[in-house]
Amino acid sequence: MARIVSAGIPRIIHQTWRSRDFPVDKGDPKSWEALNPGWRYMFWSDEDLRRFMATEFPELLWMFDGYSRPVQRADLARYCLLKHYGGVYADIDTICMASLEPLFGDTRVVLCEEPLAQHTPARLRGMRSLWFNGTMASPPGHPFWDRVIDLCVRMYPRRDFDILETTGPLILSAAVEQWTDPQALSLNSSHLFAGMTVHGADSGDPRWGNHAETVLSIHCWQGSYYKNRSPSLYHRKLAQLRDLRHRLRWDARLSFKAASRQVEQAILTLPLRRSAEPSFVTVLIPARNAEPFLEENLGQLLQLDYPHDRINVLYGEGGSSDRTADLIAGIVTRHARDFASMGSVTLSRGAPQLRRGERWKPKLQRARRAGIAMARNDLIDHALRWRQSDWYLWLDADVIGLPRDLLQSLLAAEAKIVAPDCVLEADGPSFDLNSWLAVGRPNLVDRNRYRKYGLTMPPADVWWRRHLHDLRYLDRVPLNGVGGTALVVHSDVHRAGLRFPEIPYADLIETEAFGQLARNLGVTPIGLPNVQVRHHAS
């Protein structure tokens, strides 16, 4: 990225509030004017901001108007103000502590971290730091803000979800992580603009950055995103009783101790091996009643631009009531020369036969997914004996849209377990909700609310989970659960004995339990929110 040429940060201060009658207990807006007499002070009400957006950023007005919460409009507008005017933006609940002259003329965007004690949301998502968007400085026209605004646009479909990751600090933090020109940003510790924690104490963070000797402002956290969840005594006691009932009724569970005895840790944690030659990949396709999808699924494999002489394809079929077995036999006969090898195996174990309308009933999930885990385990056991391979790509037979560079993208993540986002349509919501990241620790009340029939089955928007469509502002995220519609697994993982749990592990089963167990054993699965495969919408 080219070095930015700019006149530098101008002597302008921006603050915003709903109206021109701002509450006196929010901060000290007058301190910004008092300590910076030579600076232009620009106050923006919500009405002013909308006029500004309509005039200077009309292409974003639909999004500005579409946000359901005022803070999201304020977030987007502050990025646009700094892009257009430059200067210093400061939340209304801030207090200026010194002259801003040290910032004047700087050609970089000047940012500071939030206090280190508040970095957990960023670190859970695989980022190094949480950057503070309550006070920022910038020259006008800096392209960094284009990146921030682009991420806001990308996350607009999730606008009614978490503010932090639709317009707030996590969006800013992702833009910093992805920015490739370190000379264009002046990054500093929290002391510069936000040296006080949400609890009102000095952060005590080590000082570093271009302005390590300077404290320019403090933030009072009057509009903090950080909330405490504290259920009542009654609900805590009720949750304890439900937890006891759960443990007594569903006693068939896989413990970490028992699971770890089945895994050879020395093999599981071997470092990834680099080779000048493309790795061998075996595509594993479990199939039952897949007649309508097999040809289209095969067509997607044939169009992959990965060297076909390094791809093996192995089908596992069992229990089909249609022509799936015959079609697979024909595919193997016709296309054996299109890949390094092709084959099929009959699976004797699998999920119970269910009508399509029954497949998602909660009371059937434990038996259904246990059967799917059995089929997967039998297929990988056969594959390990069948051909030597470096990687295994699990692919459902009804996945009918693959990027041509799918394998390159998955292997480039350099992780032993990698999941793309499985969708029904491009950039639509995630279809495979078994891929998720835990972003909080639910208390016993929350856990028991969604434990049913021996498994945790929360709704898609439960507060402590993020699915890949929630994380599209990031290119790479750690995961807890993984889905099996498309999943690449390094051979070391399966050779070490790690299989898909057939009984619940941590109240999860099959691929979800596989991901969580791998993570607990030291192999963190990785999700790629912006690499998408398409599932048939039947």
Look up the CATH number of the domain holding residue 178: 3.90.550
pLDDT at residue 1, rounded to an integer? 39
The answer to whether 278 touches 307, Cβ cutoff 8 Å, is: yes
3-state DSSP assignment of residue 293: coil
pLDDT at residue 442, rounded to an integer? 85
The answer to whether 496 touches 380, Cβ cutoff 8 Å, is: no
Residue 334 buriedness (CB in 10 A; 0-12 / 13-18 / 19+): exposed
pLDDT at residue 277, rounded to an integer? 92
pLDDT at residue 446, rounded to an integer? 80
189 and 142 together in one domain: yes
206 and 281 together in one domain: no
207 and 353 together in one domain: no
pLDDT at residue 25, rounded to an integer? 67
4 pLDDT more than 60: no
417 and 506 together in one domain: yes
Mean pLDDT of 378-397: 96
Instruction: Note the pLDDT tens digit of each residue in 134-145.
Output: 999 999 999 999
Placement of tokens 């040290």 in the chain: 102
**Taking the model in full, what pTM does it have?**
0.92
| DSSP code string of 165-217 | GTTSHHHHHHHHHH---GGGEEEE-GGGT--B-TTSSB--PPP-STTTT---E
- Report yes or no on 229 lying in a domain: no
Report the DSSP pairing between strands 281-287 and 311-317. parallel
Alpha-carbon distance of 37 to 40, in angstroms, equals: 8
- Report yes or no on 3 lying in a domain: no
Alpha-carbon distance of 14 to 32, in angstroms, equals: 10
| DSSP code string of 492-511 | HHHHTT----SS-BTTB-HH
Alpha-carbon distance of 204 to 190, in angstroms, equals: 9
Torsion of CA 23, 26, 32, 33, to 10 degrees: 10
Alpha-carbon distance of 54 to 522, in angstroms, equals: 51
Q: What percent of the chain has pLDDT over 90?
A: 82
185 pLDDT more than 70: yes
Alpha-carbon distance of 424 to 431, in angstroms, equals: 6
Q: Can you count the helices (H) and strands (E) in the chain? A: 17, 21
Res. 452 pLDDT band, cuts 50 70 90:
confident
Range of the domain at 80: 12-219
Q: Under 8 Å CB-to-CB from 160, ≥6 apart: which residues?
A: 68
Res. 245 pLDDT band, cuts 50 70 90:
low
Token pair for 538: 């039947």
Res. 223 pLDDT band, cuts 50 70 90:
low
- Report yes or no on 6 lying in a domain: no
Mean pLDDT of 397-402: 97
pLDDT at residue 3, rounded to an integer? 42
3-state DSSP assignment of residue 325: helix
If residue 316 lies in a helix (H) or strand (E), which one and from where to where? Answer: strand 311-317
Q: Which residue has the higher pLDDT, 453 or 229?
A: 453
Identify the CA nearest to 506 among candidates 467, 461, 457, 456.
456
86 pLDDT more than 70: yes
Q: Across-strand partners of 419? A: 527
pLDDT at residue 158, rounded to an integer? 94
pLDDT at residue 250, rounded to an integer? 59
What one-character DSSP code corresponds to residue 114? P
Token pair for 25: 């207990």
* Mean of the per-residue pLDDT values of the chain: 92
Identify the CA nearest to 418 among candidates 352, 484, 505, 325.
484
The answer to whether 70 touches 18, Cβ cutoff 8 Å, is: yes
205 and 269 together in one domain: no
- Report yes or no on 109 lying in a domain: yes
205 and 78 together in one domain: yes
110 and 186 together in one domain: yes
Alpha-carbon distance of 304 to 167, in angstroms, equals: 36
87 and 140 together in one domain: yes
Instruction: Note the pLDDT tens digit of each residue in 37-46.
Output: 999 999 999 9
- Report yes or no on 411 lying in a domain: yes
- Of the three residues 219, 254, 285, the one that is the final residue of a domain is 219
If residue 90 lies in a helix (H) or strand (E), which one and from where to where? Answer: strand 87-90
171 pLDDT more than 90: yes
273 and 420 together in one domain: yes
Query: What CATH number is given to the structural domain containing 526?
Result: 3.90.550.10
- Report yes or no on 48 lying in a domain: yes
How many structural domains compose the chain? 2
- Report yes or no on 461 lying in a domain: yes
521 pLDDT more than 70: yes
Instruction: Note the pLDDT tens digit of each residue in 113-158.
Output: 999 999 999 999 999 999 999 999 999 999 999 999 999 999 999 9
91 pLDDT more than 60: yes
434 and 485 together in one domain: yes
Placement of tokens 């920022």 in the chain: 136
Token pair for 242: 């439900």
201 and 272 together in one domain: no
Mean pLDDT of 49-57: 98
197 pLDDT more than 70: yes
97 pLDDT more than 90: yes
- Report yes or no on 235 lying in a domain: no
Mean pLDDT of 212-219: 94
145 and 293 together in one domain: no
pLDDT at residue 5, rounded to an integer? 44
